[in-house]
Chains A and B, each alone.
Chain A
Amino acid sequence: MTVATRPQPGPPRPYEFPAFERATLGSGAKLLVAEVAKLPIVSVTVVIDAGAESDPPGKEGLAQLTARALVEGTKSSSALALAGRIEKLGGVIDSDAGWDSARLNLTCLSRHLEESLQVMGEILSAPGFPQEELDRLRDERLAEIEQIRSEPRGLAEEAFMELVYAPDARYAIPAGGSRESVGGLTREDVVLHHSRLYSPDNASIVMAGDVSTSRAQSIVERALSGWSGKRGPSTSRSAAPADGGRRTLLVAKEGAAQSELRIGHVGLPRSHPDYFPFSIMNAALGGVFSSRINLNLRERHGYTYGAHSIIDWRKAAGPFVVSTAVGTDVTADAAREILGELERIRAEEITADELSLVVSYLQGVFPIRYESTAAIAGALANLVTYDLPDDYYDTYRDRVGAVTTADALRAAREHVKPESLQMVVVGDAGLRAKIDDMKFGPVDVRTETP
């Protein structure tokens, strides 16, 4: 009734990442345009080198507040009037700052591109930063911070960053800032931050979708003609790891139905030459469903709904972390399995089968990632943010394919550091004894009271 023979694949059809062209606007801003005419949609991203990594000490959250406030009113329009102009066209404008850049995004039907870009031009050239909108955004961030106190996943992420980074490292505090730092941010801070960094010479405009390069250039040039200024100084912050060896922090949470578990340490910067070997090694370790960590914890033991390892690639060294949520009674067992996998990935080469699985996976899903104009614009924005070569996406699959099992082992041995591992458990206070039994290192307990 069923067919026993497994079908073999046919010859692959070629795929190329969408071609893009570059130009420089009169203001000094760079323009990157990929014409993709499949559907009548255009995505525009203005990438500004103003990420949270450069928040001045004590003013953590400033980059994010400034980016979010950018669309909340101009010198001539209120926040709601601006939003109303875009929304009646069915478009969406939003802005935010991540660790490495601030981004202003627009997605609209191509027939509304010109009118939508006018709004974007007004936002870039004459933001108003009204006091009441800044107050509201600050209160919303404080609400977010409040929310996280009752949210085990959020608590685990934040506690982990605090544990692995040095106290003065920017990454020790969330991108959006802490209660203390956000509470102290003023309109003057925002205006100064904006005047220093939101200039055309510190920005790139990326467009992808149903628009030609020549049309894009002429309408962007017109819509953004009022935007001027020169980049000023910015702060440089440390991404140093915390001192000392292995430690555990147990965040005791009354009534926890599960334990949120994080194990890892500071990883590598995006520009590291081992980007590809490390990525392949991590995929086999915990980056895909059929990886060692997920198969072990989920499919072999049924400890969890899912377990994975990631490295968050940032300009400076971001965290490398194994994350999972497991039943309270198996918390220590699950942690032992993870530690065992972190040792095993350094002990011997992954098999040829494991390598071929992750390589063919990463090569195969590459075109699937870039089906939408927003995804293509995001990919081009990353070229800018991480200073990648223009042929980066054209050569990506070859570079994935060039990694060997020996490369992956070397990456594991050099960059996975068992002696530096830090562990966070958000869960039942009674876990203390079992965690002590693991003899993983000193254990601190913090009690979270909502």
Chain B
Amino acid sequence: MRIPIETLTLGNGLRLVLSEDHTAPIVAVNLWYHVGSGNEREGRTGFAHLFEHMLFQGSEHVAANEHFELVARAGGTLNGSTWLDRTNYYETVPSNQLAVALWLEADRMGALLPGMTQEKLDTQREVVKNERRWTVDNQPYGSWWEKLPALAYPPEHPFHHSLIGSFEDLDAASLSDVSEFFATYYTPDNAVLTLAGDFERVEALAVIERFFGNIPRGPGKPPLADTALPRVFGAPLREVVRDNVSLPRLYLAFRCAPFGSPDHYVASVCATILGTRKTSRLQRSLIREKRIAAEASAFTFDLAKGADLLVLDVLALPGVSAVALEAAVVEEVERVHREGVTDEEVARAIALIETGWTLSMESATDRADKLSMFATYFDDAGLVNEQAAKYRAVTRDDVTRFARECMGADNRATLLYVPAESATQAAA
């Protein structure tokens, strides 16, 4: 399976990725800005994400929330998301509505600031605080995605601090922060625009040139603080969280090579062997054989700079102590670290990953997002067509070596949640 891909660059540095597919009259517009929470300055945690909210508050020719309304009227879906190293915005619309979606994206890339007011910023600050309460503070284990990066990346590292941000830093964000962030990062030369689906190339290019072509290049963004890290943590890292939860839960993270590098494919195959579906090691051993866990999975964060994380996530069954849970997970980790994996396990993992990749190419929305991702991180959208082969090239020896080098005691970050009332039982 290969999808057609064409890449071009406008005079102002905006990179375009085009992938036609006329099987349904749908087109996905997907815009990645190469900025995330890692680019925030000190005292402004959560700003990249708050800024994403502001992008829906109107621009020179678009009123507040009109973006939502126009896309809904066009019969389309939309959203945006912020991650540690990027922010994306996307609309999927009936193909005759392509120009509207492009126009909306161009208006906010070219002229966001005329739409900004203090009142809008204040309202979105409250919305984001409620998002924080909903996803982090009032959700069992909700703090894990703030605590794990804080544990696994050193304090000065761009991926260490909270993506959703602290209430204090959100309160400190001002309209001048909005202007500065916009001028620095929301520029055509810091973005990738992808179209996937039903569009006519010549017509689409003309519309893109007309809407985006006159937006000036940016002044150049400051370099991300140094992301380079040693290959392993160097010593065990550990945090025990006594929380308002019913059952113990363990997140065990290993530093691994960044997304896109040869060793990251190996780490992904290893994660699939350990935690994807019923016959994976953790599910087989902890859920079925030992009856210790209710849920078990493994995944990578997919950060493309510095170092990534491979994470095991295991939830205890009622009656199982945090100590017993941790011991059982560590036993499995020790086993793979010591003995490596089998050919059969690697083949199973690659087959599951290949099916997953094929499924992720079904919808125009997902296809466009993958194309933007590879273009943003590696300046090569064509990598989408090479993923299956890269996974297939991973061997048993690769995974065994990875487990030996990267899953030892010197490369484990343990984040353990313990029900508050039984916290005394946990080995802190």
Residues of A at the B interface (CB closer than 8 Å) are 1-4, 6-15, 38-41, 79-80, 83-84, 87-92, 107-109, 136, 139-140, 142-144, 146-147, 149-153, 254-258, 260, 288-290, 295, 298-305, 325-327, 356-358, 360-368, 370-374, 450
Task: Considering the complex, give the chain A residue whose CB is closest to the CB of B93.
Answer: A364
Binds A, one of B35-43, B177-185, B242-250, B372-380: B242-250
Task: Considering the complex, give the chain B residue whose CB is closest to the CB of A141.
Answer: B294
Q: Distance in Å from the Cβ of A428 to the closest Cβ of chain B?
A: 11
The reply to whether A83 and B24 form a contact with Cβ atoms under 8 Å apart is no
How many chain-B residues does the 8 Å CB contact rule pick out?
92
| Partner among B72, B288, B347, B359 whose Cβ is within 8 Å of the Cβ of A289 | B72
The reply to whether B72 and A143 form a contact with Cβ atoms under 8 Å apart is no
Q: Distance in Å from the Cβ of A131 to the closest Cβ of chain B?
A: 13
Any A CB within 8 A of the CB of B65: yes
Q: Distance in Å from the Cβ of A178 to the closest Cβ of chain B?
A: 15
Chain A residues in 8 Å Cβ range of B110:
1-2
Any A CB within 8 A of the CB of B130: yes
Please measure, in the bound complex, the distance between the C-alpha atom of A159 and the C-alpha atom of B159, giving whole angstroms.
39
Beyond known contacts A1-B110, A7-B103, A140-B287: 15 more, CB 8 A cutoff: A7-B99, A8-B99, A13-B198, A87-B352, A90-B350, A92-B355, A146-B246, A150-B245, A254-B244, A258-B138, A288-B72, A302-B130, A360-B73, A364-B93, A371-B24
Please measure, in the bound complex, the distance between the C-alpha atom of A41 and the C-alpha atom of B358, giving whole angstroms.
8
Any A CB within 8 A of the CB of B126: yes
Binds A, one of B150-158, B210-218, B253-261, B398-406: B210-218
Chain B residues in 8 Å Cβ range of A374:
359
Given A146-B318, A299-B64, A371-B363: A89 in contact with B25 (beta carbons within 8 A): no
The reply to whether B358 and A39 form a contact with Cβ atoms under 8 Å apart is yes
Q: Distance in Å from the Cβ of A79 to the closest Cβ of chain B?
A: 7
* Residues 56-70 of chain B, each 1 if its beta carbon lies under 8 Å from chain A, else 0: 000111001100111
The reply to whether B291 and A136 form a contact with Cβ atoms under 8 Å apart is yes
| Partner among B61, B75, B76, B96 whose Cβ is within 8 Å of the Cβ of A10 | B96
Please measure, in the bound complex, the distance between the C-alpha atom of A80 and the C-alpha atom of B210, giving whole angstroms.
58
Interface core residue of A12, A300, A326 (most chain B CB under 10 Å): A12
| Partner among A1, A3, A90 whose Cβ is within 8 Å of the Cβ of B355 | A90
Report B320-377 residues with CB < 8 Å from chain A CB. Answer: 344, 347-348, 350-355, 358-359, 361-365
Given A361-B75, A367-B25: A150 in contact with B103 (beta carbons within 8 A): no
Any A CB within 8 A of the CB of B106: yes
The reply to whether B246 and A150 form a contact with Cβ atoms under 8 Å apart is yes
The reply to whether A143 and B318 form a contact with Cβ atoms under 8 Å apart is yes
Any A CB within 8 A of the CB of B140: yes
Chain B residues in 8 Å Cβ range of A372:
359, 362-363
Q: Which 3 A-B pairs have the closest CB atoms?
A: A364-B75, A302-B126, A90-B351
Please measure, in the bound complex, the distance between the C-alpha atom of A305 and the C-alpha atom of B129, giving whole angstroms.
8
Binds A, one of B168-176, B219-227, B276-284: B276-284
The reply to whether A303 and B126 form a contact with Cβ atoms under 8 Å apart is yes
Please measure, in the bound complex, the distance between the C-alpha atom of A221 and the C-alpha atom of B61, giving whole angstroms.
60
The reply to whether B246 and A149 form a contact with Cβ atoms under 8 Å apart is yes
12 residue pairs A–B, Cβ–Cβ below 8 Å = A1-B110, A9-B74, A9-B96, A13-B96, A41-B359, A84-B279, A109-B358, A258-B134, A299-B127, A368-B26, A368-B92, A372-B363
The reply to whether B97 and A9 form a contact with Cβ atoms under 8 Å apart is yes
| Partner among B1, B111, B277, B291 whose Cβ is within 8 Å of the Cβ of A1 | B111
Any A CB within 8 A of the CB of B122: yes
Any A CB within 8 A of the CB of B77: yes
The reply to whether A361 and B73 form a contact with Cβ atoms under 8 Å apart is yes
Please measure, in the bound complex, the distance between the C-alpha atom of A143 and the C-alpha atom of B316, giving whole angstroms.
8
Any A CB within 8 A of the CB of B201: no
The reply to whether A107 and B355 form a contact with Cβ atoms under 8 Å apart is yes
Please measure, in the bound complex, the distance between the C-alpha atom of A226 and the C-alpha atom of B266, giving whole angstroms.
42
Chain A residues in 8 Å Cβ range of B127:
298-299, 302, 304-305
Chain A residues in 8 Å Cβ range of B353:
90
| Partner among A6, A147, A356, A370 whose Cβ is within 8 Å of the Cβ of B246 | A147
The reply to whether A325 and B124 form a contact with Cβ atoms under 8 Å apart is no
Any A CB within 8 A of the CB of B263: no
The reply to whether B362 and A364 form a contact with Cβ atoms under 8 Å apart is no
| Partner among B123, B247, B420 whose Cβ is within 8 Å of the Cβ of A146 | B247
The reply to whether B288 and A79 form a contact with Cβ atoms under 8 Å apart is yes
| Partner among B69, B216, B348 whose Cβ is within 8 Å of the Cβ of A87 | B348
Any A CB within 8 A of the CB of B421: yes
The reply to whether B211 and A3 form a contact with Cβ atoms under 8 Å apart is yes
Chain B residues in 8 Å Cβ range of A151:
139-140
Please measure, in the bound complex, the distance between the C-alpha atom of A305 and the C-alpha atom of B137, giving whole angstroms.
13
